[in-house]
Amino acid sequence: MEIGKVGIVGAGQMGNGIAHVFALSGYNVILNDISEDALSAAVRQIEGNLERQVTREKITTDARQEALERISTTLKLPDLGQSDLIIEAATERETIKTAIFEDLMPHLAPHTILTSNTSSISITRLASRTDRPEKFMGFHFMNPVPIMELVELIRGIATDEETFKSCLAVVDRLGKTAASAEDFPAFIVNRILMPMINEAVYTLYEGVGSVSSIDSSLKLGANHPMGPLALADFIGLDTCLAIMNVLHDGLADTKYRPCPLLTKYVEAGWLGRKSKRGFYDYRQDPPVPTR
């Protein structure tokens, strides 16, 4: 199926990045959120990111303007119903995602493909709550979306081949690389990445090393571009905890038990960069460790 119009649910960090890359690749995008402020902030973020690409000579001024003209916004979820492809990029909570799909269903065109940008939740289970499990799959972008080249494509047990091929063609058109993952908790990237981050938090919790020494060790000793605790702050500690809980619950293995210190930070509202405090305090420049 030829996909031309794309609906995106959620105008946060992931949603606005997804809108950016789709519009730049020639798709007409309609971006939805429950907050007018969030939509306005998303458009400003997209404008700024496109302008940076112009400055770095990655795109032309004309391409920037054409991309912006392809993006529209709405507070009304039913407005997305006639899209060829819908990507849900809301908060990583299954109840919220399920409610979104249930609200969308009465307004969908027969051919509309539903996808979720979930980083860990069962695609089969999400699909089962819709009227088209065969036209449902996981479409997991990496953050920041305009820069990261990978997209995980996850088929649920009912996803048909036509849906998979349509989404694969979209990834190709976006100029990104698809990795096909089976529908098991956290898929590929987060199945490997989150336990590493969780172990880094345990290393801090047990006093083996400080925030600075842990991050420096992985940057200089393993050639990682960013230390695991700084990366956790970038992702969001609430998201890290949610994914660890999905792994722990879904695989029933104690090696996925979330570190109590990670839970404590989330309980304190110290979620990383987005709340200005996490393993680092971002109210200062440069940020300083909080432990």
Dump pLDDT digits (tens) for 15-52.
Answer: 999 999 999 999 999 999 999 999 999 999 999 999 99
Residue 12: is its pLDDT beyond 90?
yes
Catalytic option among 83, 152, 166, 198: 152
SS3 193: helix
Place of tokens 């939509």: 39
User: What integer is the mean pLDDT of 94-102?
Assistant: 96
Catalytic residue among 16, 83, 119, 120: 119
What is the distance of C-alpha 171 from the center of its chain?
Answer: 15
pLDDT over threshold 90, residue 183: yes
To the query of whether residue 140 is one of the catalytic residues in this protein, the response is yes
Tens digits of residue pLDDT in 1-10 = 789 999 999 9
190 in active site: yes
How many Å separate Cα 42 from the centre of its chain? 15
At position 6, the amino acid (one-letter code) is V
Tens-place pLDDT, residues 202-261 = 999 999 999 999 999 999 999 999 999 999 999 999 999 999 999 999 999 999 999 999
Predicted pLDDT of residue 215: 98
Distance between first and last Cα of the chain: 52
- The pLDDT score that the predictor gives to residue 2 is 87
Please say if 28 is a catalytic residue. Answer: no
Residue 6 CA to residue 85 CA, distance in Å, equals 5
Mean pLDDT on 76-90: 97
- Helices and strands (H and E) in the chain: how many: 11, 10
The pLDDT of residue 92: 87
pLDDT of 188 strictly over 90: yes
Catalytic residue among 83, 122, 190, 198: 190
Map out the domains of the chain with their CATH numbers: 5-182 (3.40.50.720), 191-289 (1.10.1040.10)
Token output for 132: 């088209």
Would the CA dihedral through 89, 10, 12, 20 be positive or negative?
positive
The pair phi, psi for residue 250, each rounded to 5°, is -75, -30
* Contact criterion met (CB below 8 Å) for 178 and 193: no
**Both tokens assigned to 53:** 């690409």
pLDDT score, position 140: 97
Alpha-carbon torsion (37, 38, 41, 43), positive or negative: negative
* Binding residue numbers: 10-15, 33, 92, 97, 119, 143, 274
Annotation marks residue 111 as catalytic: no
Q: How far apart are CA 249 and CA 254, in angstroms?
A: 10
Q: pLDDT digit string (tens) for 121-160?
A: 999 999 999 999 999 999 999 999 999 999 999 999 999 9
Q: What is the pLDDT of residue 1?
A: 76
The confidence score (pLDDT) of residue 35 equals: 96
Look at residue 49 in the predicted model and tell me its pLDDT.
97
Q: Known binding site for NAD(+): residues?
A: 10-15, 33, 92, 97, 119, 143, 274
DSSP letter for each residue of 265-288? HHHTT--BGGGTBSSEETTSSS-E
For the chain, give the mean pLDDT: 96
The radius of gyration of the chain from alpha carbons, rounded to an integer in Å, stands at: 19
Quick one: pLDDT at residue 124? Answer: 97
Collapsing DSSP states into helix, strand and coil, what is residue 31? strand
How many CB atoms lie under 10 A from the CB of residue 90?
A: 21
Answer whether residue 93 shows pLDDT above 80.
yes
Q: How, if at all, do strands 150-155 and 136-141 pair?
A: antiparallel
Give the β-pairing of 28-32 and 280-281.
unpaired
Tokens of 42: 């998303």
pLDDT digits (tens, 9 = 90+) for 52-75: 999 999 999 999 999 999 999 999
Give the mean model confidence (pLDDT) for residues 159-185.
97
Q: Please give the structure tokens belonging to residue 147.
A: 């820069």
